[in-house]
Amino acid sequence: MSAAPRILTVGTGAVGAIYSWRLGQSSEITAVCRSNYQAVKDNGFDIESVKFGKDVFRPHDVVRNVSECVTSKPFDYVLVTLKALPEVYNVADIIAPAIKDKNTAIVLIQNGLGVEEPIVERFPDNPLISVVAYIGTSQHEPGKIKMLGSESLIVGNYSKAKSNSETQRARFIELLKKGGVDVRVVDDIEQYRWQKLFWNASFSPVCTITGMNTSEVLESKEAMSAVKSLMDEVISAANAEGYSFDKEQQMKEMISTTKATAKNYKPSMQLDRERGSPMEIAVILGTPLKRAKERGLSVPHLEMMYSICSATNQHIIHSMSKI
Amino acid sequence: MSAAPRILTVGTGAVGAIYSWRLGQSSEITAVCRSNYQAVKDNGFDIESVKFGKDVFRPHDVVRNVSECVTSKPFDYVLVTLKALPEVYNVADIIAPAIKDKNTAIVLIQNGLGVEEPIVERFPDNPLISVVAYIGTSQHEPGKIKMLGSESLIVGNYSKAKSNSETQRARFIELLKKGGVDVRVVDDIEQYRWQKLFWNASFSPVCTITGMNTSEVLESKEAMSAVKSLMDEVISAANAEGYSFDKEQQMKEMISTTKATAKNYKPSMQLDRERGSPMEIAVILGTPLKRAKERGLSVPHLEMMYSICSATNQHIIHSMSKI
């Protein structure tokens, strides 16, 4: 194919904007925007990044929803950068209008565990590219994006996929690299989803529930006791699936990395709660709990944290629907 | 003794005001007031109660702290109606200036488990009267008290006391009854402290953490799963101390009573959090956890809830000290 690849980005918040911008160096981007639609349609994304510089990025097309942009010509990639909120919406339903051709690859840049499952179930014949992102970026007003420090994407095989995605994955990695993105290719993406959970299923809910930031959690004996129990159980759950994470080493590393790099940091789950936005509880706490239970593992601390975070989330979602 | 008994009330919020008022029908009340000092000094307590009627209650004396009211004549009773916050202050230190005579009885109308321990340790020779209150009352502005529905006090023997308190207890019960208070006398007060915890260590923290009121918790599968795990473990902890609560019956009763009587109710722990005030975590979650662990019981759900509530409380207390 000599024409520029056509990419549809679904959920163009901060993460979606950054990677659309980088992919946009070599591809034609259509961006689905909701709350920031008018701002982006009029002025594009105004982006400031230490790593990539300052720029205004104007997607090839900006639309309000997926069905608005469907033409006879299929997209090469549908890039999903929506928050992973199975409590609120089904990603498969949202992207369905754009998945008309079995060559359209679906790329998930989402947090949590199990985000691929509903996609594989609904679109078993489409190539699936599952990505874990390490990036600090935020949209402080509609269309205005700031990105801190560096970023990296981990791209790997999703072993439960039902179709081969090697060709599309290799090409997508090239597109990312052309945009200067730091890409790490791994054999098994779930291993890295689990590993990200060691932090995200422990520090994130403890910050969220207590109101403490990472530095305050690190200083609090009680908060750290909760963090460690959760991390311990999530690592056990991963190992019950066949991984062999060294528990002590993982915990030591997670804590020392947090001390070194996440000063006074508030995880996105906590920011969501503070804003009254739905939190990614199902994929961060729900899936590891479900997987642990399927293996007959006892994970009572995780169970308690899941129950109260899930109820908190219901309360947030219910309050939103009242507005 | 023919003179009216002299009672010092320490912590004259809503509960302290109501019982001082009722005891004041036959006794001479000195009230230690802090935030409401000026209002009460000037105008007394303005009280509205369905059960007891509407009245202005002017204590015999209103003081700012315990040492201000100490004369050569000892009090017959020091009535402690402070919130139970060992995280913040030591009740024994606060009342010490008024405990100059071994005939002065110390009355605790406080929530939670283990509130007697620091008192017995510090004043082993003084009679101790431990009371569990069931009452719904609040101070909506300084000195203005509203009391809903009925109330009752459970008064009983504290088996770990080091001095005999029978005479003083009998007399105190008479004084309460003269004020129309509904008093229930029981053999062993700790049994009733435990039983109150079955609710207070389950519904209270779940409401507090999730932001849901009791009716919303009752409707939420996840929130109720947390409530039930906590209640289950707290009942086990009580039974490990020699009680024989029927777990299923207790849980059924607690839930059906909540359904019937606590509609859209927010527990005081939750109201404290919403106001940014310290919560009674140590005596409601901390003591049962400590007792369970001393007995070698595994109570992981309680442990997790204690850790995060305790850290939340630290965060509140730390934020207060910054103001």
A222–B303 CB contact, under 8 Å: no
Contacts of B212 in chain A (CB under 8 A): 311, 315
Element (H, E) at B123: none
Tell me the percentage of chain B whose pLDDT exceeds 70: 99
| B176 pLDDT above the threshold of 80 | yes
Question: Minimal CA–CA distance to A251: which of A273, A236, A272?
Answer: A236
At A43, list the tokens: 């002025």
A vs B: CB pairs below 8 A: 93
List beta partners, residue B78.
Answer: B8, B106
CB contact under 8 A, B308 and A220: no
Helix (H) or strand (E) holding A156: strand A144-157
Please tell me the distance in Å from A307's CA to the nearest CA on chain B.
Answer: 5
Beta pairing, strands A144-157 & A45-49: parallel
Report pLDDT for A323: 53
A47: its two tokens: 């982006």
Q: Could you check whether B6-188 and B202-321 share the same CATH topology?
A: no
Residue B55 has pLDDT above 80, yes or no: yes
CB–CB contact B311 A229 (8 Å): no
Task: Quote the radius of gyration of chain A (alpha carbons, Å).
Answer: 19
DSSP string, B103-168: TPEEEEE--SSSTTHHHHHH-TTS-EEEEEEEEEEEEEETTEEEEEEEEEEEEEE-TT-SS--HHH
Nearest-angstrom CA–CA distance, A156 and A138: 25
Say if CB B76 and CB B6 are below 8 A apart.
Answer: yes
In this prediction, residue B3 carries a pLDDT of 84
Copy the structure tokens of residue B317. 């207390």
Query: Distance between CA B211 and CA B167 in Å, rounded?
Result: 45
Place of tokens 């528990």: A247
Q: B221 to chain A, minimum CA–CA distance in Å?
A: 8
User: Which DSSP symbol is given to B96?
Assistant: G
Asked if A303 reaches chain B (Cβ–Cβ under 8 Å), the answer is yes
Say whether domain A202-321 belongs to CATH 1.10.1040.10: yes
Cα(B270)–Cα(B279) distance, rounded to whole angstroms?
Answer: 8
Task: Tell me: pLDDT of B2 over 60.
Answer: no
Does A213 lie at the interface with B, CB-CB under 8 angstroms? no
Residue B152 has pLDDT above 90, yes or no: yes
Three-state secondary-structure class, residue B261: helix
Residue pLDDT, tens place only, B3-53: 899 999 999 999 999 999 999 999 999 999 999 999 999 999 999 999 999
CA A242 to chain B, closest CA, distance in angstroms equals 25
Beta carbons of B308 and A222 less than 8 Å apart: yes
Judge whether A208 is closer than 8 Å to chain B, CB to CB: no
Residue given tokens 């207890």 in the structure block: B169
Specify the pLDDT at position B62.
96
Rounded to two decimals, what is the model's pTM?
A: 0.92
Task: Tell whether B199 is within 8 A of chain A (Cβ).
Answer: no
Q: Given CB atoms, is B312 within the 8 Å cutoff of chain A?
A: yes
pLDDT at B1 over 60: no
What whole-number distance in Å separates Cα of residue B191 and Cα of residue B116? 14
Q: What is the pLDDT of residues B181-234, one digit of tens each?
A: 999 999 999 999 999 999 999 999 999 999 999 999 999 999 999 999 999 999
Local structure of residue A67 (DSSP, 8 states): G
Question: Given CB atoms, is B304 within the 8 Å cutoff of chain A?
Answer: yes
Measured distance CA(A260)–CA(A299) in Å, rounded: 29
B156 three-class SS: strand
B55-87 b/e (C-beta count within 10 Å ≥ 16 → b): eebbbeebbeebeebbeeebbbbbbbbbbbbbb
How many helical (H) and strand (E) elements, i.e. helices and strands, does chain B have? Answer: 14, 10
**pLDDT tens column, B224-270:** 999 999 999 999 999 999 999 999 999 999 999 999 988 899 999 99
Asked if the Cβ–Cβ distance from B206 to A303 is below 8 Å, we say no
Query: Quick check: A11 and A40 in contact, CB under 8 A?
Result: no
In tens, the pLDDT along B85-113 reads 999 999 999 999 999 999 999 999 999 99
Residues A134 and A186: beta-carbon distance below 8 Å? no
Which of B209, B216, B314 comes nearest A308 by C-beta? B209
Q: Whole-angstrom Cα distance, residue A323 to residue B41?
A: 45
- Please give the single-letter amino acid code of residue B13: G
Chain B contact present for A210, CB below 8 A: yes
CA dihedral B62, B68, B73, B78 (to 10 degrees): 60
Question: How close A288 gets to chain B, by Cα (Å)?
Answer: 16
Which positions in chain B touch A220 (Cβ < 8 Å)?
A: 311, 314-315
CA distances from residue A293 to A79, A232, A299, B223, B288 in whole angstroms, order as listed: 32, 15, 8, 19, 28
What are the DSSP E strand ranges found in A171-319? 183-188
pLDDT at B321 over 90: no
Which residue does chain A place closest to B218, by CA atoms? A311
Chain B residue with CA closest to A313: the answer is B210
Cβ-based contacts of A209 with chain B (< 8 Å): 209, 308, 312
How close is the nearest chain A Cα to the Cα of B264, in Å?
A: 14
Q: Match domain A6-188 to its CATH number in 3.30.70.660, 1.10.3720.10, 3.40.50.720, 3.40.50.10190.
A: 3.40.50.720
Is B123 touching A (CB cutoff 8 A)? Answer: no
Residues of chain A contacting B220 with CB distance shorter than 8 Å? 311, 314-315
The answer to whether the beta carbons of residues A129 and A108 sit under 8 Å apart is yes
Question: Lowest mean pLDDT: which of A54-58, B162-166, B286-290?
Answer: B162-166
Residue of A nearest to B223 (CA): A311
Q: Are B40 and B12 in contact (CB under 8 A)?
A: yes
Residue B210, SS3 per DSSP: helix
Q: Give the three-class secondary structure for A66.
A: helix
pLDDT tens track, chain A, 323 positions: 458 999 999 999 999 999 999 999 999 999 999 999 999 999 999 999 999 999 999 999 999 999 988 777 899 999 999 999 999 999 999 999 999 999 999 999 999 999 999 999 999 999 999 999 999 999 999 999 999 889 999 999 999 999 999 999 999 999 999 999 999 999 999 999 999 999 999 999 999 999 999 999 999 999 999 999 999 999 999 999 999 999 999 999 999 999 998 889 999 999 999 999 999 999 999 999 999 999 999 999 999 999 999 999 999 999 887 65
- Tell me the two tokens of residue B264: 């859209």
Q: Kindly list the residues from chain B whose CB atom is less than 8 angstroms away from the CB atom of residue A300.
A: 229, 300-301, 304
Residues of A in contact with B293 (CB under 8 A): none
* Chain A residues within 8 A of B315 when measuring between CB atoms: 210-212, 216, 220
Which of A208, A210, A215 has the highest number of chain B CBs within 10 A, making it the mutation to test binding with B? Answer: A210
User: What is the pLDDT, as a whole number, of residue A261?
Assistant: 86
Assess B274–A contact: CB distance below 8 Å, yes or no.
no
* Residue owning tokens 């996929």: A161
Q: Is B305 exposed, middle or buried (0-12, 13-18, 19+ CB in 10 A)?
A: buried
Angle, helices B203-210/B268-275, rounded to nearest 10 degrees? 30
State the nearest Cα–Cα gap between A45 and chain B, in angstroms.
Answer: 36
Residue A128 near residue A156, CB atoms below 8 Å: no
What confidence score (pLDDT) does residue B72 get?
76
Most B CBs within 10 A among A289, A304, A319, hence the mutation to make, goes to: A304
Q: Does A231 touch chain B (CB under 8 A)?
A: no
Residues with Cβ within 8 Å of residue A157, at least 6 apart in sequence:
A169, A186, A187, A188, A189
Q: Which residues contact A24 (CB under 8 A, 6 or more apart)?
A: A57, A59, A60, A179
Integer CA distances (angstroms), B146 to B54, B55, B100, B138, in order: 9, 11, 34, 6
Q: Which residues contact B67 (CB under 8 A, 6 or more apart)?
A: B97
Interchain CB contact of A217 with B (< 8 Å): yes
Q: Residue A275: its chain B contacts at CB < 8 A?
A: none
**Whole-angstrom Cα distance, residue B141 to residue B147?**
13
Residue B204: the pLDDT is 98
Contacts of A68 (CB under 8 A, 6+ apart): none
Domain ranges of chain A: 6-188, 202-321
Question: Quick check: B301 and A305 CB within 8 A?
Answer: no
CB atoms under 10 Å from CB of B52, counted, come to 18
Nearest CA in chain A to B303: A301
| Cα B8 to Cα B74: distance, rounded to the nearest angstrom | 10
Longest dimension (CA), chain A: 59
Q: Quick: pLDDT tens for B165-175.
A: 999 999 999 99
Q: CB contact, 8 Å: B223 with chain A?
A: yes
